[in-house]
Structure 1
Amino acid sequence: MSRRDLKSLDLAALWRGLARPDATGTDRVVPPTGFTAQLTVFSAAAMAFLAVFALALALATGRLAERWSSELAQTVTVRISAPQDQIDDQTVTVMEVLKTTPGIAESRLLPDTEVEKLLEPWFGPDMPVDALPIPRLVEIREAPEGFDADALRLRLQGEVPAAVLDDHTRWREPLVTAASRLRYLGFFSLLLIAAASGAMITLAAKAALAANGQVIRVLRLIGARDITIATAFVRRFTRRAATGAAGGTLLGMAAVWALPAADEAGGFLTGLGFQGWGWLWPLLIPVAAGAIGFAATRSAALRMLREVR
């Protein structure tokens, strides 16, 4: 390095920056502006915004899977399809069979108003349901010990051939499985977002180190250690990552809050969002982004400084 290069640098300012441990000291050797700063802040904000939605998806599908599993696990329906002149007698027979079946806590014949509400999403509110040959539905609540579904099904086939026992297993299990896999997909997306954030911050840190090669050589000439130089970059990029992530998190939470309210569809509450204390989970995203920025920048800086001597 020539004398002109040395004179062009404020060695006193650099030394004061290395000697002072606060945020306005050591990391002053890193340029506060430039494309690396903008890239770090923008990428951290964008990834935090996406992380909020991935977290909302994971939590919402988790709630949905638990609700479907708990609400339908102990619900069984008996469907009675018979001619109009026989349906009343067969309904009475079904109710007597259910009363004498061990493991059934309650059996209730659904009134026509509830049946109409079940059919409303498909036929609309103005559909003349009375004109349709709608079967009778009997709702069964299991006791904690449960009942023998196969034995009850055989008994109904013998005494009331028009009655069909439906324990909702055929369509409940696929729905619960799909909701559970969506939850895992949400958490996996969070891991991918964290990995992508670390990669982008690493690239930005390497670019900043390469752009400040002259500063790094001068710092070594005046006795600065690699760990001290790396600390300057780590502080700057950690703060940038945390600041950008905080802004992206706030925007993401506002976007989730602005989503339409949960609506009732098909008898289940659905909707993407946070509930109750769940709104506190996104606040951990800036903390995680700062930790990722710290680890990525420290690793990249030390590795690059060892390679460049």
Structure 2
Amino acid sequence: MSEKPAPQVVRVDPTAAAAPATDTNELTLSRNAPLVPAASIASRSLVTVIAIMTFLSALAAGSGLLIAGASQDWQRSVASEMTVQIRPLAGHDLEDEVTKAAAIVRATEGVSSVEVYAKDASEKLLEPWLGTGLNLDELPVPRLIAVKTDPSHPPDLPALRQRLAAAIAGASVDDHQLWFAWLATMANTVVVIASLIFALVLVAMFLTVAFATRGAMAGNHEIIGILHFVGAEDRFIAREFQHHFLRLGLRGGTIGGLCAVASFLAAGLVRAHLQATPGGDELEALFGTFSLGFKGYATIVAISLSIAVATGAMSRAIVFRHLQKMG
């Protein structure tokens, strides 16, 4: 019987014994050739899918960070303000009671500023609901006193309420705790939704990588079987797949991460262009300045790298498990 030529063994088993000296160039070419072809339609498609998934994941994470930051700004703003209302009562001089209430509030420790709204200003606040051109003299429109407090040394609200109630019959203090709780709940809900979207996108991407790995294994089934048969270590075969999918993950993650960064930078430029407009003010009130800062951009970089590493690790685990079943 004629035995198989040595070059064939060298081609399929890079870990086998060295071939004769005349086959050195052939051995070098075999070892440099990747087990999984890098330039293929499936590889380019997987890079595109990873880029899209990375982009969506970064958008979800960045949006969550923006909402969380804006929520903290809202809560700080609401927590540092309160409103004193003086209701007009029969037999009481409203202007005198407003002056007395403002003096009591100014004397309270922890109050940084006090602004008394005049009658015209108080009535103007009702125009969005009642319309313009109305005579409000017959309505019991309360007078408002806007108070800003020191967040580091907030005033004693129960004591302030007692002093105002003892001195002025129609006085009440609104510390905006209801709005504070509502804003916190709304922001936390949006952050949870963004986190769920982020998790779902990652799950979808990992399933795609799993299918792509199995497809690559199916396309190279004969080569994998020969390598496994002649004694190639499972770690070598799994490592080849891991390096291949790690490179694809790095390419796709980099593209998706850069697109996400560009999107947030473009959103910041649009917000700056719309600054001082009604729409721009509403966007800034809801999302802040659209500036992620170092933390946000570092998060996008971490997401891109994590997706690439997870892609390689997942492909290695799938191949290794398949080879163990073969053995």
TM-score, length of structure 1 as denominator length: 0.79
Q: How many residues get paired?
A: 299
Tell me if structure 1 keeps the 8 A contact 2:244–2:312: no
Could you tell me the percent identity over the aligned residues?
Answer: 24
**Residues 1-309 of structure 1 mapped to structure 2, 5 A cutoff:** 12-15=10-13, 28-34=34-40, 36-82=42-88, 86-110=93-117, 122=128, 135-143=142-150, 144-259=152-267, 260-261=270-271, 263-265=280-282, 268=285, 270-271=287-288, 273-277=290-294, 278-309=296-327
Q: Deviations over 1:167-212 (max 9, x none)?
A: 0001111212321343344344433333332222122111211221
In structure 2, distance between residues paired with 1:254 and 1:267: 19
In structure 2, distance between residues paired with 1:135 and 1:274: 40
Counterpart of 1:44, as a letter, is: I
In structure 1, distance between residues paired with 2:286 and 2:326: 59
* 1:285 to 1:35, Cα distance in 2 relative to 1, 3 A: same
In structure 2, distance between residues paired with 1:119 and 1:270: 27
Report deviation, 1:39: 4.1
Greater relative contact order, per chain length (Cα 8 Å cut-off, separation 6+): 1
In structure 1, distance between residues paired with 2:288 and 2:149: 29
* 1:266 to 1:111, Cα distance in 2 relative to 1, 3 A: farther
Q: Which has the larger radius of gyration?
A: 2
Report deviation, 1:118: 6.9
**How big is the alpha-carbon RMSD for the aligned residues of Structure 1 and Structure 2?**
3.9
Q: Report the secondary structure of 2:38's partner residue.
A: coil
Unaligned runs of 5+ in 1: none
